[in-house]
Amino acid sequence: MKRNQFAVWLTALMLVRTVALATTSADELAIRRIIDEEVLAWNSGDAKAYSQRFAPEGTFTNIYGMVFTGHDAFEKRHGDTFATFFKGSMRVERIRCIRFVTPEVAIVDVDTEVRGFGKLPAGVTSRDGVLRTRLLQVFVRRNGEWWIEAYHNVDVKVHPRATMKNSVIESCICRHK
């Protein structure tokens, strides 16, 4: 009898874990889709589309160290940059890690490269015509949809020969347990 109870308990546990992993996989795909949409919007110079998943009260720190709060400020700042020094630029993003802190909160660590931009302010590093940044986004799920609550972007000081093509980027997917 105890053996049967253990088998039922083990089966139930495995089923719960399978459902949790399937949910996490769907959530991971949804977040990856948002990142892909960000890249398409950036490369089109479309600030409205780029800001689509940014939360109403989200916070944003750009590569110059400027801090903004709210969806409207995020969209306006990107509209300004798409019209000036990032006009016509092309962006590539590679996700380093998606870590689910809880089933409703994910931290997404991204390497970016931007090409074809105008003159950058002093202090922002661009070697070989490529601006490299490290973007950290905090996603929160509300009513079944993922929103960017925090967006922190810094330029990366790298060796001039390092690129996303030849550098080792460790990818991870960490799940809430």
Contacts of 48 (CB under 8 A, 6+ apart): 75, 79
CATH code of the domain covering residue 37? 3.10.450.50
The candidate with the shortest Cα–Cα distance to 68, out of 165, 150, 170, 155, is 150
Task: Kindly state the helix (H) or strand (E) to which residue 3 belongs, with its residue range.
Answer: helix 2-44
The rounded distance, in Å, linking the Cα atoms of 36 and 33 is 5
Q: Which domain holds residue 51?
A: 2-174
* Rg of the chain over all Cα atoms, to the nearest angstrom: 20
Number of domains forming the structure of the chain: 1
Residue-wise DSSP of 26-57: HHHHHHHHHHHHHHHHHHHT-HHHHTTTEEEE
The answer to whether the predicted template modeling score (pTM) of the entire model surpasses 0.95 is no
% of the chain at pLDDT higher than 70: 75
pLDDT of the residue at 21? 44
pLDDT tens-place string over residues 89-142:
999 999 999 999 999 999 999 999 999 998 877 778 787 889 999 999 999 999
